[in-house]
Structure 1
Amino acid sequence: MKHIILASTSPRRKQILAQSGLSFTAVSSNYEEDMTLKLKPLDLAKHLSRGKAISIANKYPNHIIIGADTFIALKDELLGKPLTMEKARKSLKKISGKAVSVITGFTIIDTSTKKSYSKACVTKVFIKKLSTQEIENYIKTNEPLDKAGAFAIQGLGAVIVKKIEGDYLNVMGLPLFELAQALKKFGITIL
C-alpha cells in the first residue's frame, strides 16, 4: 500500500486520521487559503483542500496525499479561524443562538496515477444563546483563536453546542466516514 501523507499539521486532523489505524505522515502544506474567492461554500471547501494537497504532491511521488479545509458558514458569511481575541469575540457574537454549517472539504490525490477525488461535507451545529460574560470567559481560555468559527466542539466549546446534525468528526476537521468511503476508490480500506 502507498504511504499516506496528510497535508496538515492540525492536531485534530492527525488525531482523527490516527483513529482509522492507517499509517501516515503529517506534513505542513504552507498553502495560502483565500477565503475571498467567489465560490459557493462547498466548492470553496473542495478548492482549498485541493490546494493544500497539490501544494505538497510534487514532493511525494508514489504516495496518497490527503488535504482538508474546514470553515463555518453562517448564511452567506464564511468564518475561518479568528486568530485574535477581537475577531473571536465578533465570531462568537455572530453565531450566538444560531445554527451554523460546518463545512469540511477534503481531497485525495494519488501522486503516481494523478487520480484525485474531492468532496465537501456539511454538519449543522446549533449554538446556544451566549451572554457577553460567557463569550468573554470562553475567549480568555484562548481555545477559540485557532478554531474555525471560534469554537472547539471537542473542547470547552462543547458547552455552547446545543446539538448537531451530521458528522461530529466533520466539525473537528476531518469527516472520517466519508474519507474512508473515498479511500476505497484508491484501494485503501480501513475495515
Structure 2
Amino acid sequence: MKLILASTSPYRRELLTRLKIPFEVCSPEVDETPLTGETPEQTAYRLAIAKAKAPAKSFPDSLIIGSDQVATLDGLQLGKPHTHENAVKQLTMMRGRSVVFHTALCLYNSRTGNSQAREIPFTVHFRKLTDAQIEHYLFKEQPYNCAGSAKSEGLGIALIEKMSGDDPNSLIGLPLIALIEMLENEGMPVI
C-alpha cells in the first residue's frame, strides 16, 4: 500500500521524511475558503479531510494524508500574510499575546474508505516585540506563506516566549505523533 502526502507544503514534506518511510506527494486541489459560520477549528478539520480524500481516485490503493492549519488570535482567524505589510500587521497584533494554531490531520484509506481525523491545537505565546524586531525578523526570514507570519522551525523561534501543546510538529503543519498512531491503526507501523 502506498503512502501519499496530499500537500504542496515543503514543511509537511520535510516533517514526513523524518519517519523514514517512502511516500509520494500530490497536490490536493482543494478550495481553502472558510465556510460561513464555520469556526477556525471546523475549517481546519474539514479541509484536512477534503485534502485527504481529493486525490483518492488517482491513488486507489493508498493511505492518503491531508492536513490543514488555521491560526487564531482571540477567535480571529490569521491566514497566510502573503505580503510584508500583512505580516507586519499580524505580528504587531500578536506581540505579547497567545495565538492558537489549530492543525487538523486526516489519514484516508482509499482502498477501504476508512478515515481517521483529529484536530491538534498548539498555543504559541509571543514575546513583546518592538517594531524594529518585527521588521528585522521579516527582512531575514520572509515567512509570507506561513499562517501567523512566523516559522518556529527557523528564526521565528526568537519571537516566541513559550509554546504549549501535545505535538510540536503540529505547529509546523503535520502532527507526527497522531499520524504515527493513525498509520499503526491502518497496519503501517513506523517502527
Fold similarity call, TM over 0.5: yes
Q: Which position in structure 2 is the counterpart of 1:95?
A: 94
Q: Which position in structure 1 is the counterpart of 2:40?
A: 41
**1:71, CA displacement in angstroms?**
2.0
- On the 8 A contact 2:170/2:176 being kept in 1, the answer is yes
| Per-residue Cα deviation, 1:87-146 (whole angstroms, up to 9, x for no partner) | 111111111111111111011111111111111001111110111111112222353201
Are 2:123 and 1:124 equivalent residues in the alignment? Answer: yes
Percent identity reads 32
Secondary structure, aligned partner of 2:4:
strand
Q: Which letter maps to 1:170?
A: S
- On the 8 A contact 1:53/1:107 being kept in 2, the answer is yes
- On the 8 A contact 2:4/2:64 being kept in 1, the answer is yes
Q: Which position in structure 2 is the counterpart of 1:163?
A: 162
Q: Which letter maps to 2:171?
A: V
**1:10, CA displacement in angstroms?**
1.1
Distance change (3 Å), C-alpha of 1:145 and 1:36: farther
- Taking the aligned partners of 1:88 and 1:35, their CA distance within structure 2 comes to 20
**1:40, CA displacement in angstroms?**
2.5
- Taking the aligned partners of 2:34 and 2:85, their CA distance within structure 1 comes to 19
TM-score (norm 1): 0.94
- On the 8 A contact 1:138/1:144 being kept in 2, the answer is no
Q: Which position in structure 2 is the counterpart of 1:189?
A: 189
Aligned Cα RMSD in Å?
1.3
Secondary structure, aligned partner of 2:144:
helix
Secondary structure, aligned partner of 2:48:
helix
**1:152, CA displacement in angstroms?**
0.1
Secondary structure, aligned partner of 1:159:
helix
Q: How does 1:8-87 map to 2 (within 5 A)?
A: 8-87=7-86
Structure 1 spans left out of the alignment, 5+ residues:
none
- Taking the aligned partners of 2:124 and 2:28, their CA distance within structure 1 comes to 28
**1:36, CA displacement in angstroms?**
4.8
Q: Which position in structure 2 is the counterpart of 1:178?
A: 178
The structure 1 segments of at least 4 consecutive aligned residues displaced by more than 6 Å after TM superposition are: none
Considering fraction of residues, name the structure with more helix: 1
Q: Which position in structure 1 is the counterpart of 2:147?
A: 148
Secondary structure, aligned partner of 2:148:
helix
- Taking the aligned partners of 1:49 and 1:7, their CA distance within structure 2 comes to 9
- Taking the aligned partners of 2:77 and 2:164, their CA distance within structure 1 comes to 19
- On the 8 A contact 2:35/2:43 being kept in 1, the answer is no
- Taking the aligned partners of 1:161 and 1:142, their CA distance within structure 2 comes to 15
**1:41, CA displacement in angstroms?**
2.6
- Taking the aligned partners of 1:133 and 1:32, their CA distance within structure 2 comes to 36
Of residues 14-23 and 137-146 in structure 1, the stretch that sits farther from structure 2 once superposed is 137-146
Secondary structure, aligned partner of 2:112:
coil
- Taking the aligned partners of 1:185 and 1:23, their CA distance within structure 2 comes to 18
